[in-house]
Amino acid sequence: MERINILHVSASLFLLSYFFNVFVYRSSDKLVKSKYFDVIPFIAIIGISNSALLLSDFYVYKLALFIYFSVQALSMIFTRVIENSVLHLLAYILSIVLLLMVGFNLMIPIQFLNISNILLMGIIILIQFRNYNHYKTAMHKEISEIYLIALIGVIILSYGHTYFLMSFGLLIYAVFQLSEISILLKFYKMSRASIDVRLADLERKFERTVEFEAKKRTSVMADKVEHIKESSQKDPMTKALNRNGLTSVINDLINDSSVKIFSIAMFDIDKFKTINDTKGHMVGDECLKYLSYAFMINNRKTDFLGRYGGDEFVFVMPHINAPGALEISERMRIEIQNKSAPKFTISMGISTYPYDGKNFSALIEIADQGLYAAKEAGRNQVKYKGNVFTKG
């Protein structure tokens, strides 16, 4: 029996469509998933290529199209509820059934095949237009349009009464196959490009997130301050940190690798005992409250104030060196001298980490020496007895 080369071209296009859509594109789109069944016509055509059959090649091709169109139409309706593995298995089972039908000459009337193939192609076109109206995508629009070419090819193939007409109908259908593969390939490339754009966008978002987190970490110091202020490590009267809270803050700064330097100022109220003895303890308490309040509102949110004991306070200044600490302390000394009510003054001593000590006790000791020197020099002064050279 004479073999028709155009059948092999169509079979090759079915195989190409099958491998591209199943193993490359792998989209969840109904049209793409229906291409699992492209293997059926390929197996049928290749299966009869080297066998002596009583059936004509055109008849086998039409029978293969009948089974292919039937399951394609059904899959385009129900494929979203069917697993890919099930579609694969079903395609190969139907291919085997088709080969058995051909091998045992189980014929379906040719007129039935001709009419059925045209009707099934019409149904597939309607499904395509419905999908386009639902999804409104360019791909469905272009595919819907070229299916009209497939319909023309099937009509000529079905009702062509000569070898030439049937071959011409087969050629038109092969043109449809090639056009469909080209369209799907185009939109596959577009989808890949879209994925690359989304990945690039995600990378940019990730970089912005990392940058945001980095900035967020810079505010950790302020967050810690707020947390400490609202914790139980406070002196109830002055609202400053108590001694335990003060110790904890200084040790945290020492253990924080991002903190390279900080200073502390130790100070007390000059002649505080005289104020208590002559004006009463209530006035003395008001002096302590005002002193605490003044240091809190006139300095940074990242600074700490702690009550060390009695009328002694320690002011902690992160990231401030000794000259800077002297300047801040002098400013606060003048602030208290000019605005306190009743009038009182303070004496202050400075120390700086890590030059004057690398632990809490060493820093307090140097600051206390400065405080003592300020008292000896006549009070209402700021003194530094540490290891950093300062002017004056």
Q: Give residue limits of the domains in the chain.
A: 5-201, 221-384
Report whether 33 contacts 79 (CB < 8 A).
yes
Q: What are phi and psi of 261, to 5 degrees?
A: -155, 145
Task: Please provide the CATH number assigned to the domain covering 221-384.
Answer: 3.30.70.270
pTM passes above 0.75: no
Report whether 276 contacts 311 (CB < 8 A).
no
pLDDT score recorded for residue 342 = 83
pLDDT score recorded for residue 87 = 83
| pLDDT grade for 231, boundaries at 50, 70 and 90 | low
Which tokens belong to 111?
């007129």
pLDDT score recorded for residue 214 = 65
The answer to whether residue 131 scores a pLDDT higher than 70 is yes
| pLDDT grade for 208, boundaries at 50, 70 and 90 | confident
Query: What is the overall mean pLDDT for the chain?
Result: 87
Q: Does residue 311 sit in helix, strand or coil? A: coil
Report whether 379 contacts 347 (CB < 8 A).
yes
Q: Ramachandran region of residue 309, left (φ > 0), alpha (ψ -120 to 50) or beta?
A: left
According to DSSP, the β-strands at 382-384 and 346-353 are: parallel
- The tens digit of pLDDT for each residue in 7-52 reads 889 999 999 999 988 888 887 777 788 888 999 999 888 887 666 5
Cis peptide bond prior to 323, omega within 30° of 0: no
> Rounded distance, CA 9 to CA 311, Å?
100
- The tens digit of pLDDT for each residue in 307-358 reads 999 999 999 999 999 999 999 999 999 999 999 988 999 999 999 999 999 9
According to DSSP, the β-strands at 262-269 and 312-318 are: antiparallel
